[in-house]
Structure 1
């Protein structure tokens, strides 16, 4: 499915950049930067493929690893690591948002391919989108962004739910997927800049 491959490419590039930014903020060495970027970009997909009983895409295709290495190389070349307050920069927010929505879409599409039910599709979207970031944050002893950021996981769940409904009504193709992608990106950015939060107990 071409749509799935496009979502994978966008998500990998975006999350590799996101992982690079976090690694630089934590002052990791070059190996640490590679590990953080790889985990962020590819960790969620590995978990997704195992749950779907698929051969991990990362281990059967060279493209994901090449994309991550290229992103790291270009980030160093253009000195993106020299910026202060990295996690508040436009580049980090955009890359993290694009990765979140792209991998939510790819997770949902694969769940639909293996005929998961509604909850399976929604949770696969979430796991694919946030899995790598959660693994990275646990490794770096950070509170996962999923648990602290505005509407982060909620966007992923909504994307999965919308794609499940689309599948039930046989709505497919580039246009519907791009509409879902645009909706997810817009909602995440709006939630970030408006500081929207889900209700808290207490």
Structure 2
């Protein structure tokens, strides 16, 4: 389950990072940095927190997946498409990446025997850490701070997964159902412009 969610998240966040780079009119090096930070940043922070070698540093597949996906998007000229089309694809890819990495962060936390606080922290960091790092480097307000229900959904997914673990319900089917529900919730929240009011 971990590897499946990790690879789905990497592919989705590769697309997300690509669209952000194109929107910011970065050159090829800038696109590479944006893509790699978005796809790997959160997972690297997660693994360092639990004192293990980052997954992407000991497996070759993630790096090749990112380069291959980026090359495919360039060949298909996604960097030249109309912004509205890229926007729709960006929201979908970013939502998939968010939920995938929320799940992997929570799974790693539970595997290491962390309590609910630790599960929430690792899920959140894994889901948004790469995007925050990317946005800071390209001098933008991090996406997670501009949309009120973004990070909240990562935390909700972590809470549900933690509850499922306590009940012994974590398996491929229940985790897949949680993934789909999380992605749908994120997309609906975006379309409905849900947010948590300050007061």
Short-chain TM bin:
over 0.9
Q: Deviations over 1:3-61 (max 9, x none)?
A: 00000000000001100001111111111101100000000000000001111111111
CA displacement at 1:89 relative to structure 2: 2.1
Deviates more, 1:80-89 or 1:151-160: 80-89
Q: Deviations over 1:96-147 (max 9, x none)?
A: 0000000000000000000110011011111000000000000011000111
CA displacement at 1:83 relative to structure 2: 2.2
CA distance in 2, matches of 1:78, 1:87: 13
What is the aligned partner in structure 2 of residue 188 from structure 1? 186
TM-score (norm: length of structure 2): 0.97
What is the aligned partner in structure 2 of residue 119 from structure 1? 117
Q: Does 1:153 align with 2:154?
A: no
* 4+ aligned runs moved over 4 Å, structure 1: none
CA distance in 2, matches of 1:12, 1:124: 17
Q: Deviations over 1:164-195 (max 9, x none)?
A: 11111111211110111011101100100001
Contact 2:13–2:35 (CA<8 Å) still a contact in 1? yes
Q: Does 1:71 align with 2:78?
A: no
Contact 2:116–2:159 (CA<8 Å) still a contact in 1? yes
Pairing partner for 1:19 from 17, 20, 35:
17
What is the aligned partner in structure 1 of residue 40 from structure 2? 42
CA distance in 1, matches of 2:95, 2:82: 20
Aligned length: 199
| Structure 2 unpaired stretches of 5+ | none
CA distance in 1, matches of 2:84, 2:117: 35
Distance 1:17 1:107, change over 3 A: same
CA displacement at 1:84 relative to structure 2: 3.2
What is the aligned partner in structure 2 of residue 139 from structure 1? 137
CA distance in 2, matches of 1:136, 1:85: 20
| Structure 1 unpaired stretches of 5+ | none
CA RMSD of aligned residues (A): 1.2
What is the aligned partner in structure 2 of residue 107 from structure 1? 105
TM-score (norm: length of structure 1): 0.96
CA displacement at 1:150 relative to structure 2: 3.7
Q: Does 1:173 align with 2:163?
A: no
Contact 2:19–2:86 (CA<8 Å) still a contact in 1? no
Distance 1:129 1:158, change over 3 A: same
